[in-house]
Amino acid sequence: MTDAVDFLDQFNVRRASDVTIRFTVLASAPGAEPPAKRQRCDTAHEEQYQQQDQGREQEPGGQPDETSSQGRLRAVVREIYGHSMILTKASEWAERMLSPEWSAETPGVLDVELDDEGEVPAAELLFKSMYSTADAGRPLKGADQATLLQVLLLADRLRAERALCAAVNALLATADTSMAGVLDWDTILALYALPPAVAKSKALKPLWNAGAAALQHRLGDLDAAWLDAGCRAQLLALPFEALRHLLSDERTRVSSENTVVYTVAAWINDNAGGVDGAMQRAALAHYVRAPHLSKLYCASAGSWLLTRWSPHISAADVHCATDLQEADDSSKLRTRLLKAKGLPLAHRSAWRLPPRPTSSVKEAVVEWRVPLSEMRQLYEQAAAGAEVGESLQVCSEAVVFQGCEWEARVKCKKREAGVILRATLNVSLPPGCGAAAVLAAMVAFQKKPPADDAHDPALRFSAWSIEVGTGQGCTDVFGLGELKEWDEVAWRNKGLVGQDGRVGVRFTIRGVK
């Protein structure tokens, strides 16, 4: 058996060439760039293109688009030699463009329209891949993922199937050799932003699987993502299709289905405006597994938001979903609820699904901690207040956990006899939720958070009922009474100052109801 014939050594070779391949971009207005950077523009061919374009079906790739037919000139930024025998076998577009009916006006010329000059290296790699008939992926080795994505898109436009598959395989190979073993984040975002016609290509299925795996690697644990600032920003910046894929993936983990509601609400708050907003809100609402929302949360945030996101979900539907929580997995009641045609559980596929896999995050810590010197400044500012009853409030950084935002607040309030210190744990519902609510959770409170390197003592949890907007906590949180004057010794004698010289409070939260 002989080895496959390869023509890579004939790429851009003038000998026996019968095609000129021209890479073009929209020409800049005269004077828009320094003379050294201006590209020549072939106006004669532009007029021919306008004549050819009339009455013809638009082909992807080189022939002029609407901008060309309206008189916008294109600049040739690169020319290479080609061979019709090779090109017509490698690309359906090239076969069409070089046929007699399409090439009568410009015989032997293929114009490939690029968005900008930055795509020229990718375009050259694509044509090298076409010429590498023995191994279409060989010219792509060593290219970065951004360039390979450009090759992929160009291959799809020019209908070069072998080169398209080679670009997909090259992208997968770069993921395998990366430190994390997954696609780069920018590649994931670009993948989910592909035009629908490209995204549906069967050749891209392995790439979609790799993209979904990379998305899971980074954001697949929603509660962990919300506790990490970098992941939180990436989650909110996801394209709609990426978020939809994340919520529909059976591998996505949560500590509670409440977290899914918060994720959708926060994403909608940041992204779902404009013409597509209503469609996106309705679509995302149907990925919430309402029967697995906690009861109090469902009665307030869940029901409020779901019925506003989708016109097809009513409050009665959500109430019916909560009934499923009361039924055992093997009970007749559960079977009837799932099968009854008049009930929403029968036709809402997400509501029939089991709970999602469990998050690695079992509890959340909300902490307010400052140096003792800052605590003194807060006290002195409160003591200097003009009126009795005036208070100064400082807050911790908000923490998202099980569908809510949690925040520790310390108030220094001026009274007749001195300044009293109060600490509260406050909770906020997801963005866009205007319902009043009381939520229940298991909370452990510490008035002396251990230093970062200290052993964390055993926590004592108790059931707290927390009103949204009010919070719950304790007055005279540090046991110092009403402070008439600042006394640092009292703070130290009570053991309120940690080894790191800080004072503060810590709330640990579990099991939001």
Spatial distance between the Cα atoms of 321 and 328, rounded to a whole number of angstroms: 14
Same domain, 405 and 322: no
Same domain, 140 and 87: yes
Same domain, 384 and 417: yes
- For residue 476, the model assigns a pLDDT of 87
pTM of the model: 0.82
Model confidence over 346-393: pLDDT tens digits? 667 788 888 999 999 999 999 988 888 888 888 888 888 756 555 677
Spatial distance between the Cα atoms of 319 and 338, rounded to a whole number of angstroms: 14
Instruction: Tell me if 138 is assigned to some domain.
Output: yes
Structural domain range at position 269: 220-352
**What is the three-class DSSP state of 479?**
coil
What are the CB-based long-range contacts (under 8 Å, 24+) for 385-394?
Answer: 385/414, 387/414, 388/414, 388/415, 388/416, 389/413, 389/414, 389/415, 390/414, 394/368, 394/370
Same domain, 154 and 26: yes
How far lies 409's CA from each of 140, 295, 425, in Å? 56, 27, 6
Instruction: Tell me if 183 is assigned to some domain.
Output: no
Model confidence over 53-81: pLDDT tens digits? 443 344 444 444 434 434 568 899 999 99
Instruction: Tell me if 115 is assigned to some domain.
Output: yes
Instruction: Tell me if 347 is assigned to some domain.
Output: yes
Same domain, 247 and 336: yes
Last residue of a domain, one of 352, 378, 412: 352
List of the chain residues with pLDDT < 50: 1-2, 31-70, 453
Instruction: Tell me if 187 is assigned to some domain.
Output: no
Instruction: Tell me if 436 is assigned to some domain.
Output: yes
Number of domains the chain contains: 3
Same domain, 439 and 393: yes
Q: What are phi and psi of 40, to 5 degrees?
A: -70, 150
Instruction: Tell me if 203 is assigned to some domain.
Output: no
Same domain, 25 and 119: yes
- For residue 316, the model assigns a pLDDT of 84
Residue 479: CA count within 13 A, CB half-sphere: 10
Residue 160 and residue 122 in contact, taking contact as beta carbons nearer than 8 Å = no
Residue 468 and residue 428 in contact, taking contact as beta carbons nearer than 8 Å = yes
CATH number reported for the structural domain that contains residue 62 in this entry: 3.30.710.10
- For residue 3, the model assigns a pLDDT of 60
